[in-house]
Amino acid sequence: MDMMLWNIGLSVVLAMVGWILKEKAMELSRLSILLNRTREEVARDYVTKGEVHADINRVLDRLDRLDIKIDRLMETRT
């Protein structure tokens, strides 16, 4: 009789531990999905270093061409 009560008690405790671990695993899975979605949104909303450098180089090239045109204009006026 004493051994049967011990088995029942141990089974109840292990069942509760298993249920808690299952809930924690589901929560971890949910957080992992949310983290992946956040990473996708960040990658979609922000630019990469390469894109920034390419855009800055385009602007600088345009400014260099404008500088050359202004220099030519100043030369023709003097």
- What pTM does this model have? 0.48
Print pLDDT tens along the chain (78 aa): 788 899 999 999 999 999 999 999 999 999 999 999 988 888 777 888 999 999 999 999 999 999 999 999 999 987
Report residue 26 as tokens. Answer: 């589901």
On the 0-12 / 13-18 / 19+ scale of CB atoms within 10 A, 50 is exposed
**C-alpha–C-alpha distance, residues 41 and 34, integer Å:** 11
Positive or negative, the CA dihedral 29, 34, 40, 43 is negative
